[in-house]
Amino acid sequence: MPKIKEEEQEKIKELFESKMEDDVYIQFFSSENDCQYCDDTEEILDELKDLSDKINIQKNELGNGNTEKYGIDRVPAILFTDHSGNDSGVYFYGIPSGHEFNTLIEGIVSMSNGETQLTDEIIDELKKIEDDILLQVFITPTCPYCPRAVKVAHEMAMHNPRIKGEMVEAIEFPELSKRFQVSGVPKTVINSGAGEQVGAVPAKTILNKIKTVIQ
């Protein structure tokens, strides 16, 4: 039984055909051990790949392949790169299901056409950042507000190679959630706890939090 319903597949295929421009390159990481959702995540990616010849997927086993190159330490993991394999900073840790499935679709389109919803003012400010920034956005698949927070982090990463934006499925990675005291989602953790923001807030708010962290 397919993960994506047939009628939904048709809509996604039409979206890809109308919005995608360049090829998209995805690194997928999984493990045969202790990974409840690796197979499901792989199936989702395979079904999406069948909907566009512009989607390219390289599969890796945790500990092998490009694990060390991209610093992957938990699975399932999805990473977008450019055609040369350079890290885009756009990551998904955990299955992109529920509301986050749309985030994955939007991410594919954005990586293909280079368009984001960030304002020119924010993009200019992002490009001035010279420090390494890690934005970990903790989510659950049933959270309707979480995609907005993930989208902000991912789009910031797209505009500055020093920024990494991660979607982290809070239930799949309980130790990480406990470490950063995630009691509600979405929660954006900046530079491993140097700053944080609860809730889906405007990009400007996250940008100001980043500035506070690096000052």
Instruction: Flag whether pLDDT at 172 surpasses 90.
Output: yes
The fraction of the chain above a pLDDT of 70, given in percent, is 100
Distance of alpha carbon 97 from alpha carbon 126, whole angstroms: 29
Digit-coded pLDDT (tens) for 130-141: 999 999 999 999
Strand pairing class (187-190; 195-198): antiparallel
> What gap in Å lies between CA 23 and CA 113, rounded to an integer?
9
Given the candidates 3.40.50.300, 3.40.30.10, 3.10.20.30, 3.30.70.260, the CATH classification of the domain at 120-214 is: 3.40.30.10
pLDDT in tens, 174-192: 999 999 999 999 999 999 9
Residues in the chain: 215
Sequence-distant contacts of 61-64: CB under 8 A, at least 24 apart: 61/29, 61/30, 61/31, 61/32, 62/29, 62/30, 62/31, 62/35, 63/31
- The residue among 199, 200, 196 whose CA lies nearest residue 208 is 196
Q: What is the DSSP string of 99-152?
A: THHHHHHHHHHHHHH---S--HHHHHHHHT--S-EEEEEEE-TT-SSHHHHHHH
pLDDT of the residue at 106: 97
Question: Are the CB atoms for 42 and 76 separated by under 8 Å?
Answer: yes
Quick check: 1 pLDDT over 90?
no
Amino acid letter for position 189 = V
Sign of CA dihedral 193, 122, 201, 141: negative
Residues carrying CATH 3.40.30.10, the chain: 6-113, 120-214
Which phi-psi region, left, alpha or beta, contains residue 61 (left: φ > 0; alpha: ψ -120 to 50)? beta
Q: What is the pLDDT of residues 54-98, one digit of tens each?
A: 999 999 999 988 999 999 999 999 999 999 999 999 999 999 999
Domain 6-113 has CATH 3.40.30.10: yes
The contacts of residue 151 (CB under 8 Å, 6+ apart) are 103, 106, 117
